[in-house]
Amino acid sequence: MLTPWLDHYPTGVPAVADVNAYSSVAELLESAFRRHANRDALCCMDRRLRYRDIDELSSALGAWLQSRGLVAGDRVAIMMPNLPQYLVAIAGVLRAGFVVVNVNPLYTARELEHQLTDSGAVALIVLESFAHTVEEVMERVAVKHVILASVGDLLGFWRGHFVNFAVRHVKRVVPEFRLPLDADRSVTRFNEVMEAGSRMKLRRTDIVADDIAFLQYTGGTTGVSKGAVLLHRNLVANLMQTFAWFKPTLDSVGGQPLTIVCALPLYHIFALTICALLGAHLGAMNLLIPNPRDTAGLVRTLAKHRFNMFPAVNTLFNALAHDTEFQRLDFSGLVVSNGGGMAVQQATAERWLKVTGCPIVEGYGLSETSPVATSNRLDVTAFDGSIGLPLPSTEIAIRDDDGKDVPLGSPGEICIKGPQVMAGYWQRQDETASVMTPDGFFKSGDIGVMDAGGSIRIVDRKKDMILVSGFNVYPTEIEQVVSLRPGVLECAAIGIPDDRSGEAVKLFVVREDPTLSEADISAYCRDNFTAYKRPKYIEFRDELPKSNVGKILRRELRTSV
């Protein structure tokens, strides 16, 4: 296979990464706890925890879960924003030999029920602000143990009480809830778990590279949310591939502990790998941002730190680059601004470079690839709209519909092969077979072109997937749910360009009930979809374009707007 990209690698970046540096993510974390024990692992709301603190807390959490009868391979769901408890939970679950199921805390009850049921999660760690959603589904899922976290749990005694009071009684962002208790279910406060677990001993488990580490839910090929099975070796490999790509640039910091701005949610695979795992390997401090939508609050936090790495999506880069207060910050420590999750726009990249002096390095990947498959060189400042070169130990093939490689410069489906590619979709062999080729390539569904130097540019999307602020939205899911609303005869969803989010959902509806209004549909969608999935535009039509066999033609809808 041709590998033209290797001739264009930056100085110091190897063709092959040390993808077996750790036998598991658990070994990676425990190594970080030993090597960086006295370094700050995180800072959140001005509260810092060291790596030794995360070691002790995660050991207590893992031991407590083991004491409840969980066995190796059991799934534990985590449902919270970027708080210290998240990093503790990831480490505790993995060190105990269990599997992490990342859950978007803004999910509706319908979305949450599907993910908990599909994964078979037996335990759930959830922030109390979202417990009311859990209450709606508890009787229908297999979860037996709920650990209930509060924002202030790990912020220190006085600050923690103050923050919890403000969250509950001033901001009023903890809706009332009552989680069912019976002989088969337990609900325990996070700090109670920490206290009890600290008196227990974490039992060592034999975790190997081919054990499952994460079920990372994504739309897959049909829009029904599926768990991408990410093995310990997949995550370790992508961590080390990314490290090999970044190392020559990070060495310029001079060996000082790094600070990573963790504004992207840790339940997203991008932040999980780049912030949590790479951060642990580097002994970096993650600056946790629970609510990145609060631009003013984010900027105030950034003003207190000299930060070195800033992973983000285009929308966040753009919002900050236009913020007057952000423009006044000290960017002398910033050496890596890596964009992912959605396409970086040229105007955003140019403005960010002008404001910070640090170019946005765009990468590309998917949940199924742990996630990074390609990246632009870190020493290039001019924006060219490409997704860069394949990472070390990664092969990219551009193929036609028959699975044959196309000539350089010709469009085809981007297919990815490497140690970071998932083991498959959780309990969905047919779906796995549909995206994996006989020679081990994952079919991304994106159409790209590779030039003579191995640089890749995305030119189209084979799937109907809609990309909203870096999150996948699948039309099939939107249509299946909306079609159940009384008064809807049929519907179709597409993505349309949006200046803020890259793309937005537009929904076309044919009414059965002529009194059905846009407000009715919007209210129904608020009840059934998390915010980024909700249609921004709703249009009623008398009929939808269809093929000869009756299939709704989304491509014709796209060309009509």
Name the residue among 481, 252, 450, 461 with its Cα closest to residue 366. 461
Name the residue among 401, 378, 395, 379 with its Cα closest to residue 450. 395
The number of angstroms, rounded, from the C-alpha of 40 to the middle of its chain's C-alpha atoms is 23
Q: Is the pLDDT of residue 221 over 50?
A: no
Tell me whether the CATH fold assigned to 51-207 matches the one assigned to 466-559.
no
DSSP 56-115: HHHHHHHHHHHHTT--TT-EEEEE-SS-HHHHHHHHHHHHTT-EEEE--TT--HHHHHHH
Task: Write out pLDDT tens, residues 33-56.
Answer: 999 999 999 999 999 999 999 999
Cα gap 156→379, rounded to integer Å: 42
Q: What is the mean pLDDT of residues 318-324?
A: 92
> What's phi and psi for 530, nearest 5 deg?
-65, 160
Q: How much of the chain is in helix, strand and coil states, percent to nearest 5?
A: 35, 25, 40
Task: Write out pLDDT tens, residues 253-263.
Answer: 877 899 999 99
Residue 272 is given by DSSP the state: I
Q: Specify the pLDDT at position 489.
A: 87
Q: Where are the domains of the chain?
A: 4-19+234-461, 51-207, 466-559
Q: Specify the pLDDT at position 560.
A: 85
Q: Is the pLDDT of residue 299 over 50?
A: yes
Q: Specify the pLDDT at position 398.
A: 97
> Taken in order 531, 532, 538, 544, is the CA torsion positive or negative?
negative
Chain length of the chain = 561
Q: What is the mean pLDDT of residues 426-436?
A: 95
Place of tokens 């690698």: 9
Number of H helices, E strands in the chain: 18, 25
Task: Write out pLDDT tens, residues 508-518.
Answer: 999 989 999 99
Residues 6+ apart with CB under 8 A from 457: 385, 386, 387, 448, 449, 451
The answer to which of 95-104, 236-245, 470-479 has the lowest mean pLDDT is 470-479
Q: What band does 219 get if pLDDT is binned at 50, 70 and 90?
A: low
**Which amino acid, residue 111?**
E
8 A C-beta contact, residue 201 and residue 223: no
81 prior amide bond cis, ω within 30: no
List the end-to-end C-alpha distance of the chain, in Å, as a whole number. Answer: 42
8 A C-beta contact, residue 103 and residue 78: yes
Task: Write out pLDDT tens, residues 82-139.
Answer: 999 999 999 999 999 999 999 999 999 999 999 999 999 999 999 999 999 999 999 9
Using only C-alpha atoms, what is the Rg of the chain?
23
> Taken in order 526, 528, 529, 535, is the CA torsion positive or negative?
negative
Q: What is the mean pLDDT of residues 11-31?
A: 97
Spelled out in words, what is the top-level CATH class assigned to the domain 51-207? alpha beta
Residue 485 is given by DSSP the state: S
Q: Is the pLDDT of residue 480 over 90?
A: no
Q: Specify the pLDDT at position 490.
A: 86
**Mean confidence (pLDDT) of the chain:** 94
Q: Specify the pLDDT at position 192.
A: 97
The rounded percent of the chain whose pLDDT value lies above 70 is 98
CATH number of 4-19+234-461: 3.40.50.12780
Spelled out in words, what is the top-level CATH class assigned to the domain 466-559? alpha beta
Cα gap 265→488, rounded to integer Å: 34
